[in-house]
Amino acid sequence: MASVACIGECMVELRQAQGGQSAGHSSGQGGGLYSRGFGGDTLNTAVYLARLEVKVDYLTALGDDALSDEMIAAWTAEGVGTRRVARLPGKLPGLYMIQLDAKGERQFFHWRDSAAARQLMNLPETDDLLNSLMSYDVVYLSAITLSIYDAAGRERLFAAIKRARLLGTRFVFDTNFRARGWPDRDVAREVFAATFAAADIVLTSTEDLLALYPGESHEQLMARIPTPELVFRLAEPVSLLRFPGATHEVRAEPMTKPVVDTTAAGDSFAAAYIAARLAGSDPVEAAQAGHRLASLVICYSGAIIPGYAMPPKKRHRPATSRQATK
């Protein structure tokens, strides 16, 4: 079976109590109270990959506290592998809070500077974790992942990915850009350029790239990414695809339900795209699968939708080798 390593950070989430469920979620009621859950972009993708019957491990660092134990239990219940999770004595996961203003707009507040996940590239077991990347068909991470490591940590990670790619592992990069995670945009642009050059597949959007390269056209933005396979999501529910020998436009099917919460739309798109490519679908079919799942996810509150809401399983052409995403 094809396998994926998702690398990143999951944090404790405090959300103004509005209902909605997610893995490890407990609810509060009334004004001024918060519900507690867990959140992280690459973790969301890992959960959806597991639900799509892809073998997936999550690579991160947690503490030895009760909240970290809850995370491990929740991920395991979803079918996400936790054998690559480092546990650091005395450390804690990061924390973020979502607060709604009078207009219902979300504001985010973060406490993560000393989170365990930030140390993943600087541990005694780091070499073993990075060497394990060679055993996966796909390594997936986001710009948020890269933002939590220092320059030396990113270099160490890129070196390991380069070694893994020599053995056939595919590297998928999602440009999920959050300015607050970077010291400045110049540093982010430099890291993005290096990652684009190293990736096999890039999943990006106008929202991410225009924040880094304001005023550029779609063509200019896509030209910045030399990767052989590119999925470029526009502001409207349309993706522009570029892959060897072809370019293509994929439109999402019209929505039949109201949009409730756009959280994890991109994360779920990434999961469905990767799962479809590993199962033998071409990029166009994979993008269609991505749009279908994302269109479902945004009809529910929270990042992880109820299991019963997942789309029916679709049979793909059998493909279990490392060549499936090429």
Catalytic residues: 267
**Which are the contacts of 107, defined by CB distance < 8 A and separation ≥ 6?**
98, 99, 100, 101
- Coil, helix or strand at residue 37: strand
Q: If 0-12 CB within 10 Å is exposed, 13-18 middle and 19+ buried, where does residue 254 land?
A: exposed
The distance in angstroms from the start CA to the end CA of the chain is: 16
Alpha helices by DSSP H, 102-184? 126-131, 143-147, 151-166
Structural tokens at position 279: 């199962």
Instruction: Report the C-alpha gap between 62 and 82 in whole angstroms.
Output: 11
133, 141, 239, 258 alpha-carbon torsion, rounded to 10°: 120
Q: Are 146 and 118 in contact (CB under 8 A)?
A: no
Supply the DSSP symbol for 12: E
Which residues touch 207 (CB under 8 Å, ≥6 apart)?
177, 235
How many other CB atoms sit within 10 Å of the CB of residue 8?
A: 25
CB within 8 Å of 59: residues ≥ 6 apart: 5, 6, 7, 8, 84, 85, 120, 129
